[in-house]
Chain A
C-alpha cells in the first residue's frame, strides 16, 4: 500500500455525485492508495457554517479532525469545500490559542482533543505525488480531449492555508490531465470562482458567473470542463444544463471529474467511473473517452 488515509467525503458527494466517489475509489485502487472509511464524520461546516458562526464552524470541523487524530490517521478529501474548511480550521486553531482552547472545551465532553497532528490532503495532491505511477498506467490515450480545467478556489486559495499549487498559475492538476494525452487549454476565466457558494444567497448571480465562465471555456475551444470538487460540479453539471449566452447560443460542455478522466485513460473498468450519472450529455466526447 502506497499510503493510507481516512477518506472525508462531505455531504455533497454522497448526495449528488456518487460517481466522483466511485471513480476516486477505482483510481485509488489502481494506484494502491488505501482509503479507510471515516467513521462518525459530520458535515465539514464549509463556508456556509463559517458564514453563520465561526465558533460553531471551528467546533464542527475541529471535531472531524480530532476523530481522525484519535485513530492516528491522516485525512484525504476529494472535495474543495471540505479541504478548505478542514485546512482553514487547522490554520486558525494552530495560530490562535484562544480558539483552540474554546474548541477543545467543546470537544472534551465527547472524549476528543484537537492537537494538530493530523495531515489534511486533497485527493489530487496525493495523485500528483504519484504522477510517475499514473504515467506508467496510461493504456488509453485521450488525444483530442480539450479540457477547460477548473481548479476551484479553495484548492489553491488562500495559498498560505491551502499550500498546494501556485495560486495565480496552478499547473499540477493540469499536468495530471495532460499525462493522458488530453490538452489543458488556456482560458481567461480559469481562476475565477464557479459561483457555487452563491446559490444559497442569489441563484441569479451564481448563474451569471457560470455563464461568464462558460463563454470563456467555449471561446478557448474546450470540448469539456474538468473539476475536482462537487460544489463546483453542481454549477458545471447541474446549473449548466441548458445554459445559453445572451444571444441564445448553447454554452453546454460536458463536465467530468478529474478521476473519471484519469480512470478512463488508466483503463479502469467503466462501471465505477459512473459516466451514466453525468447530467450534461457526454456525446461530443464519447468516442475520445471510449465509452
Chain B
C-alpha cells in the first residue's frame, strides 16, 4: 500500500523508545476508552474484522500498541481502514468499545495531518453547505417529491466555528 496514512507497516526490526504512559492515559480518556487496559489480546476483534486480511497492522495489534503507549499507532493503516462496522466492539469479551476508540484515534491522526484526502473535502463540504451531498432535483421532480427542506447554513457554521472544525490541525 502506498497511502501516506499507512506508513507504519510492520513491527519487523522496529525499535521503540520508552513506553509513553501519558499516551495510554490520553486514549483511555477518549469516548469509549475507559476499559482500554482490560484488553488481554484474545484477538477476537481481528477474527471478525472485515479488513483484517487487507491491512498491515490488525486491530488487536492496534490495541496492544495503545497499551504500550506507542504513538506510532496513528500511522498504521488500520486507523483509516476501519470501516466502523462495530463487529469488534460488539464481540469483545472484555466489553471494550474498540470501534469508538478508533474514532478517537482518527481524530488524533487528523489533527496531525495523517488522513486520506477525501476527509478534507468532506470537512469543507460539511462546513460550507451543512451537507455531504446535494439533492438531485430532476429525480425528485420525476418522482413527485417535494424539494428537500431548507437549511439555515449560518446556524451550522456558527456552531462549527465554536467547535473549531476548520482549525483542528496542530501547529508543528
Contact = CB atoms under 8 A, between A and B. Distances in A.
Given A37-B146, A43-B130, A59-B162, A53 B151 contact: no
Contacts of B104: 54
Contacts of A40: 149-152, 155
A205 B54 contact: yes
A167 B87 CA distance: 9
Nearest to B119: A52
B168 interface: yes
A38 B149 contact: yes
Contacts of A154: 86
B99 to A, nearest CB: 7
A195 B50 CA distance: 8
Residues of A in contact with B, size category? 35 or more
Interface string A22-65: 10010000000000011111110111111111111001100100
Given A53-B107, A63-B159, A158-B99, 13 more contacts: A11-B134, A15-B133, A41-B149, A42-B130, A47-B103, A99-B31, A109-B158, A154-B86, A158-B86, A159-B90, A168-B90, A198-B81, A209-B83
B87 to A, nearest CB: 7
B9 interface: no
B90 to A, nearest CB: 5
A193 interface: yes
29 contacts: A15-B133, A25-B145, A39-B149, A40-B151, A40-B152, A41-B149, A43-B131, A45-B126, A48-B126, A48-B132, A51-B84, A51-B110, A53-B110, A54-B31, A56-B165, A59-B162, A60-B160, A63-B159, A153-B84, A157-B87, A157-B89, A158-B90, A193-B87, A195-B83, A197-B83, A201-B116, A201-B119, A209-B50, A272-B144
A170 B132 CA distance: 30
Given A110-B158, A154-B86, A158-B90, A202 B3 contact: yes
Given A51-B119, A52-B106, A202-B3, A42 B50 contact: no
Given A40-B151, A110-B159, A201-B80, A15 B87 contact: no
